[in-house]
Structure 1
């Protein structure tokens, strides 16, 4: 079997085994408790080995691929069309995603299906995590020009990129800006020096891609371990209590990824959606199981060049930016959560208010870190903005891990779609100019 098929089979085996364990746990609770301990002691570390091998290469890979992509442009004025198409698709992607989520939440009205007793139970169980998210948001400074400068151009570039002592990847935005500056400066070098710079950057990219190959060999074993652990720990009770909300979110994400994105691929890239999604299966599975756009970036770059045959100039520019800025699944989820919690607490949000929420969800999603659970503080801020009790985020925290996996797949899938469309449109534009 191919690697992608083995990973998918591993995913199915992990889900089936977890559901079987939960079934046994219904009549023999000690078995379930034992398997939860096994998950924490064995399966989680196995998943972390896979995840951290991917995290290892994120920083050098983002820098080398993005800088190399710009250097290969040759002339700096060619960056304009590439960047213009990329950012336009990013914005359109997120706006459409949030709109789909809000429409479904208004149609399904999931907040009307959860009774006050269940609400109180969920708030009591997950309220501590909710308050932590609220405090995290309160500690964040308000948006200003000074903050934007600090976000993109910190005093200590390497300190900002390395992150904290908990092993979490730091701010990728300064690294992206630095890579763009290096690439732009590289285009101004003499041809022989520019070629040496490009060869060096390409060598780093190739080395990091080899490490990604090592990690993917572990994927068929790490993927079932991670999905098993998530389902066994979350349990079915909280999922059933929030079933309408969970189904609504998953349906919205599915419609956006396989509906909107399929239309874009067929109409804008002129490619078969079936063939395209078959080629990017490893990317979607990696995104789903890791819940991290950053961790999936190495796989995305490898698949874009090896399977989709995208030019390094395009994939090296679009995909690192997308992993940081193109958060269509996250924006969709944020809009769904705010509307759902508003329904639970009986807060009416007019159409005009929901349009404003759409715009704010897009802006806040861009600021979300590409790590698991990075959107919760932003959601707390949106709840405060619209006069909804921010502690209400505790209602959905129990199912956030599962939905985090799904929205990361949407985020990463839309990045790949954007790269495919941008690459195709640039090739057609160059062909027209050549004929002219």
Structure 2
């Protein structure tokens, strides 16, 4: 079973239908019970069933793929080289992403003349329900050191049960290295993992073939029914700033990286990775789309499993370029609402904190708002102002998740092509 063009077309059609139907029903959502019924019992059920089926496969796919990836590399030192290169790429693109976002926001001034929004009910509600009168400062101070400490799981079963991707990746690397060390005696175990990989990939592709389009329709329809274009109109310039920054980062940063570092056509790359991008848009979850991202990168882009199965799961956890863009625009937007001109040092602080905070963040819908609260607190802005943008965050989350997973695939392709050229040069020398 292969991720092909037919599936891509089906997903795109489903997304368009979901946006159109959701937008038509959205104005009636608050006043008409039958619209709420359709949303809850049709759109929501279709979307959540698909999402649950994909989430069901995330842990086995990640664990098995990384173990086999480590084994196929065969040299722990080479694996360490992959890891360092991947981490540097991800941190660099995240820092660039948030810088682009802040430049765009400072040029377009999305918060100018809208200070009245700070007194809205949404701000008070967010303060009471999400912040609960507490501070995010302690979470920020503990974030990085706890992330490092929590890399190693104390309970592997719990890590898998809670889908803690960094811990699952760490445990899988240990298992893979041990299998390399005992390769002669572990031949049967390696074969078992290879057979298990075939089984879980078959399940993933079956889910995609029969449920992806229906599930994507349900997820997108319910998002637009509940948010709709009314929320977009109220915060139009903020919405435009985020989308523009995402577009610039996608085309200039990823496009240039694929063209000049991987030496591949960016259009070819987009065509090959389109199925995963469609699922990412509908699910708003880097973790949920991971099985499809792996399959698309390996089958359509030609990325070897040993690289794809290590780089992309790691990216689903630590590479949050799209999320960083939202944080950059939102920070400038909220500062402008508050009548505050951010200093150069404050902007640098935002870039550094958002980049570091992205490490270890769960790849689930809405997590960017938690990270944003940390950033706002660090530079003295009121995190309750997040309540202003929460109404349209679900719609933007869909787009930025698509950017996140595209970045993961781009980096895996770059590393793959660099390794291919290195191996080709080594063969010529011999």
TM-score of the aligned structures, taking structure 2 as reference length: 0.93
Give the whole-Å Cα distance in 2 for the aligned partners of 1:34 and 1:214. Answer: 33
- Equivalenced residue count is 424
Give the whole-Å Cα distance in 2 for the aligned partners of 1:144 and 1:113. Answer: 35
Give the whole-Å Cα distance in 2 for the aligned partners of 1:72 and 1:197. Answer: 14
Does residue 351 of the first structure (1) align with residue 344 of the second (2)? yes
Secondary structure class of the residue paired with 1:111: coil
Does residue 310 of the first structure (1) align with residue 314 of the second (2)? no
Secondary structure class of the residue paired with 2:280: helix
Which position in structure 1 is the counterpart of 2:109? 109
Match of 2:23 among 6, 12, 19: 19
Q: Give, in angstroms, the shift of residue 99 of structure 1.
A: 1.1
- How big is each residue's C-alpha offset from its partner over 1:236-257, in whole Å with a ceiling of 9 and x where there is no partner? 3222111100110011111112
CA contact under 8 A between 2:115 and 2:339: conserved in structure 1? Answer: no
Q: Give, in angstroms, the shift of residue 182 of structure 1.
A: 1.0
CA contact under 8 A between 1:19 and 1:231: conserved in structure 2? Answer: yes
CA contact under 8 A between 2:277 and 2:405: conserved in structure 1? Answer: yes
* Mean Cα deviation higher: 63-72 or 219-228: 219-228
Gap runs ≥5 in structure 1: 164-169
Secondary structure class of the residue paired with 2:294: helix
Q: Give, in angstroms, the shift of residue 136 of structure 1.
A: 8.4
Give the whole-Å Cα distance in 1 for the aligned partners of 2:359 and 2:88. Answer: 14
Q: Give, in angstroms, the shift of residue 326 of structure 1.
A: 1.1
Give the whole-Å Cα distance in 2 for the aligned partners of 1:160 and 1:68. Answer: 19
Q: Give, in angstroms, the shift of residue 321 of structure 1.
A: 0.7
Give the whole-Å Cα distance in 2 for the aligned partners of 1:320 and 1:80. Answer: 16
Distance 1:154 1:313, change over 3 A: closer
What does residue range 166-185 of structure 1 map to in structure 2 within 5 Å? 170-185=163-178
Which position in structure 1 is the counterpart of 2:270? 277
Q: Give, in angstroms, the shift of residue 223 of structure 1.
A: 1.1
Distance 1:115 1:252, change over 3 A: same
Which position in structure 2 is the counterpart of 1:50? 50
Gap runs ≥5 in structure 2: none
Does residue 250 of the first structure (1) align with residue 243 of the second (2)? yes
The Cα RMSD (Å) is 2.2
Q: Give, in angstroms, the shift of residue 221 of structure 1.
A: 1.3
Match of 2:261 among 265, 268, 284: 268
Give the whole-Å Cα distance in 2 for the aligned partners of 1:219 and 1:143. Answer: 39
Runs (4 or more) in structure 1 with deviation over 6 Å come to none
CA contact under 8 A between 2:160 and 2:168: conserved in structure 1? Answer: yes
Give the whole-Å Cα distance in 2 for the aligned partners of 1:62 and 1:179. Answer: 8
Distance 1:370 1:145, change over 3 A: closer
Which position in structure 1 is the counterpart of 2:410? 417
CA contact under 8 A between 2:280 and 2:398: conserved in structure 1? Answer: yes
CA contact under 8 A between 1:265 and 1:271: conserved in structure 2? Answer: yes
Give the whole-Å Cα distance in 1 for the aligned partners of 2:69 and 2:228. Answer: 45
Q: Give, in angstroms, the shift of residue 304 of structure 1.
A: 1.4
Give the whole-Å Cα distance in 2 for the aligned partners of 1:301 and 1:231. Answer: 28
Give the whole-Å Cα distance in 2 for the aligned partners of 1:424 and 1:95. Answer: 24
Secondary structure class of the residue paired with 2:408: helix
CA contact under 8 A between 1:176 and 1:321: conserved in structure 2? Answer: yes
Distance 1:359 1:149, change over 3 A: closer
Distance 1:143 1:131, change over 3 A: closer
